[in-house]
Structure 1
Amino acid sequence: MKFLHRYIYIFMTALLVTSCSDPSSVDSCEESGNFIIAATPQALDGVADYLLTTESLESGSISTVGCGQEQDGTYRYYVTNNNKYFSLLYGQGNPGAVTTYQLNSNGKLDELSDFQSETVQAFAPIEDDVLMVKAPRSINDPTAYWYRLNTENSQFTDEGQIDIIELAGNGEGAFPSWLTQVDDQVFMPFSTITGQGNNSFSTSYPDSAWVAVYSYPEMALQTVIKDDRTSFIGRYFTKGLSVDENGDVYAFSSAIATDDNGQMISTKPSAITRINGGAMEFDQSYFFNIQEASDGFYLTDHVYAGDGNVLLMMRDADEKAPYTTGHNFAIVNVHNQTFTWVNGLPDASSILNVTSMNNYVSEDGSTVYTGITIGNTIENEEGEKETVFEGSYVYAIDIASATATRGLEVKGGAITSINKLEPAE
């Protein structure tokens, strides 16, 4: 539940509180450009993201104070497709808004549509659509639903159902981690969950991985690919598959399966496996043990940069948790199985938040841009701990040298997403 772990920061001054909460201040600044930054203002209570535009990720500053477009509701998530920007509200069980934007010739976002949809647990650009899946956490209601959102007109064009118990095939329910287009098919990795007890995400099958393969756009199940060398692929609200230039599919496992008490029970290491292009089974000759290569860390998220290069977010395996994003970064090459820690980043202990779902990769694949928010924890006069925000920055991570350089500063907010659009014609 990544949305439960967004940091809520204290304001540095009363002026910042007033400026960020005043609706009349929105869109009063001059920043513009192709890059879209979503940032959550620092606040005592849950607040909505602001969408800001900028020309550069490598220098300068932008601010949530009096700038940007305020989103309607907290826990927003973002996806781009067909040169449009979609802002999805996680409604926590209730219907959520979907707002569509495009970039105008002045480098500003224009709102195209705003409508209600079901809150979904997985979504991704597939061909010219955004495919969404709403999945239950209880096997007492064993039906998941998928929806096809057409990006040309921002209208739902098709929907269907998935029997999660039938898909799991082991008495538990299938719960998808994410969706990935592979050629003309959709690969949906999933864990199997009990859907009952103290922890609905608990499982009796912690040491297996599954990928459901669907035709598209019909979403007819073709097969389920299974492997017992890792735990499940991806995590809640976290992409677990990437496709390289050869058409090979790499699967990323955090090994974070839990029992009914929330205890880690997988005996498998955090690792990367592979499904060769065109194949419907895991390549048993390929196994990249990330926990071993990193000397005791596990991957929590990844960004595929190109030519087999991947940026990993990582965390000490002794501190495994199902939903926390790692604050240590490494570059791996999945083709030759090399591992290198990234230099030039803030100490992991000072990092409050990292952008995990929407990072930007340069067109040549040489650089990954990620948002990092730093701060520290203090003890107030009442002896309670408070998190003090220090700053939020875009870091440019050079793949070849595994070196990070601090770039754009986002004042007054924590970066949650970095995307890019071209001006609409």
Structure 2
Amino acid sequence: MKRVKLLPLLTMTALLAAGTLLFSACSDENEVPEMITGEANYALSLAYQGTEGNYTYYTVLFEDVMSGSLSAVGQGIDHLGYYTYNQVDDRIYATGGFELTDIIALEKNTDGELVETGGNSSFGNSLQDVVEAEDGMLLAIEMASSSDVITLHRINAETVTAESSVSTAVSEITDQSGPSYSGMVQSGDFLFVSFYISDPTTYTTAHTDVAQVAVFSYPGLQFVKVIEDDRTGPIGGFGTKSGLIKDETGNVYALSHTNPANGFSQFTKDPAILRINSGDSEFDSNYIFDFNTVTDSLTTAHLVYLGNNKVFVEMNTAKRSEQSAWADGPLKPAVLDLSAKTIDYISGVPEHSGLGRKLASTSLYDGQHIYMVVPEDVNSYVYQIDPVNYTATKGAEVQANFTAGFFKF
């Protein structure tokens, strides 16, 4: 375990054009930034683009996210590259980076300082995602277009090391090239992995007529079968990793959107949410949440389960026929009710662009409010959302290119 890295003081140059903030390092050995300690329980992973176009992420502790300005000037633990962050209990697990294949854990020590552990386990490819299993283990997946196998890992959450790993040939799951990961949940005796088919060279999606989810045994991680449903299209999409969510009773919900804004070159089926009932390993033929019944042909690529059948979403306010490719927007937050099959939009949050990232990592739900960073023209701001009254309050300005993670200890 090592203590928090103290970065050199940074000279910040605000570039209003394109809404970017570039930070250049400037060392001054006579000045030491003050360590954030005590009751700084919020953590944001802030991304800054360097002069060569590469991003570095700094995970920083904050005491207050609803006033003032938030930045990584003089503080934070840094990770170079395109990392994904997932919080499980009081740890944040970082995976990804520039061809890095390890997993790193961030946590607060007894002095209230942010420290880093792990990084001792190396995998064949960068891990696509990390989720918590019902037995407290972490589950991670390797699913790369350059590999002919999909590998699942059970990782000890404390030691951050793999205790078991099982590989399955891609040919057992699909006869198409380019299966792309879109979500993973474990429920009872099964592990469910959603995917869609994307050409590894052109990223075109020629297969959009059926929803598919791979089923594995748990805890054995052995491949069982692929389940399909032709009432809607492929589950999930590029980067968002929210194809599957699970409620408190073990029911699994699968989202199909086939948004051009989230990696699809075509769409042939209506967007919908399907369900796999707790204990089952097939789609429930009696359940479908068809988005066309509650919206004017709008969709969402982002889901976060809140509890009591309520789901926080970012709805794309453009119809699929009007969406810009890879745009992940324009977005508007809302709450879905999976039982009543209704949608309520959040007032007070401006329409905004997304990041094509996992909403469960870039937003924070503390049991009462949802916190997320919303870009507005040049600047970005924290918004505190009340998912019961469907209202929002504007908070601190965030000085970064974008926010890669939002957490609370």
Partner of 1:378: none
What letter matches 1:267 in structure 2? T
CA contact (8 A) 2:156 2:162 kept: yes
Q: 1:239 to 1:325 in 2, by over 3 A?
A: farther
Structure 2: any 5+ residue segments left out of the alignment? Answer: 1-11
Partner of 1:48: 56
Aligned residue runs from structure 1 range 384-403, under 5 A: 389-390=378-379, 392-403=380-391
Partner of 1:179: 184
Partner of 1:408: 396
Partner of 1:348: 352
> Aligned partners of 1:144 and 1:323: how far apart in 2?
28
What letter matches 1:163 in structure 2? A
The question of 1:336 aligning with 2:346 is answered no
SS at match of 1:409: strand
Aligned partner of 1:150 among 156, 168, 171: 156
How far the C-alpha of 1:413 sits from its partner, in A, is: 4.8
| 1:260-302: CA deviation from partner (whole Å, max 9, x where unpaired) | xx87332212211212222222222222222452213221211
| 1:35-69: CA deviation from partner (whole Å, max 9, x where unpaired) | 21111135543231111112344444432111222
How far the C-alpha of 1:75 sits from its partner, in A, is: 0.7
CA contact (8 A) 2:370 2:385 kept: yes
Partner of 2:245: 242
How far the C-alpha of 1:337 sits from its partner, in A, is: 0.7
How far the C-alpha of 1:229 sits from its partner, in A, is: 1.0
SS at match of 2:172: helix
Partner of 1:202: 205
Partner of 2:8: none
What letter matches 1:395 in structure 2? Y
TM-score if structure 1 supplies the norm length? 0.80
The question of 1:122 aligning with 2:141 is answered no
Partner of 1:103: 108
Partner of 2:7: none
The question of 1:85 aligning with 2:86 is answered no
> Aligned partners of 2:28 and 2:168: how far apart in 1?
42
Aligned partner of 1:224 among 223, 226, 230: 226
What letter matches 1:111 in structure 2? E
> Aligned partners of 1:69 and 1:17: how far apart in 2?
18
CA contact (8 A) 1:305 1:368 kept: no
The question of 1:70 aligning with 2:65 is answered no
Structure 1: any 5+ residue segments left out of the alignment? Answer: 1-9, 376-388
> Aligned partners of 1:239 and 1:201: how far apart in 2?
20
How far the C-alpha of 1:190 sits from its partner, in A, is: 1.6
CA contact (8 A) 2:205 2:265 kept: no
What letter matches 1:319 in structure 2? Q
| 1:381-406: CA deviation from partner (whole Å, max 9, x where unpaired) | xxxxxxxx32x322111112211211
> Aligned partners of 2:106 and 2:308: how far apart in 1?
31
> Aligned partners of 1:342 and 1:278: how far apart in 2?
34
Partner of 1:324: 328
Partner of 1:274: 275
- Report the count of equivalent residues: 382
SS at match of 1:166: helix
Q: Percent identity?
A: 26
| 1:120-150: CA deviation from partner (whole Å, max 9, x where unpaired) | 2233222433322222325xx5222223322
SS at match of 1:136: coil
The question of 1:233 aligning with 2:235 is answered yes
How far the C-alpha of 1:105 sits from its partner, in A, is: 2.8
CA contact (8 A) 1:52 1:68 kept: yes
| Alignment RMSD | 3.1
SS at match of 1:101: strand
> Aligned partners of 1:372 and 1:220: how far apart in 2?
41
The question of 1:367 aligning with 2:369 is answered yes
TM-score if structure 2 supplies the norm length? 0.82
Structure 1 segments of 4+ aligned residues over 6 angstroms from their partners? 23-26, 351-355
CA contact (8 A) 1:48 1:70 kept: yes
> Aligned partners of 1:96 and 1:11: how far apart in 2?
33
CA contact (8 A) 1:300 1:314 kept: yes
> Aligned partners of 2:193 and 2:356: how far apart in 1?
27
How far the C-alpha of 1:353 sits from its partner, in A, is: 8.5
CA contact (8 A) 1:231 1:256 kept: no
> Aligned partners of 1:218 and 1:26: how far apart in 2?
50
SS at match of 1:48: strand
Q: Which sits farther off after the overlay, 234-243 or 318-327?
A: 318-327
CA contact (8 A) 2:84 2:129 kept: no
> Aligned partners of 1:119 and 1:104: how far apart in 2?
27
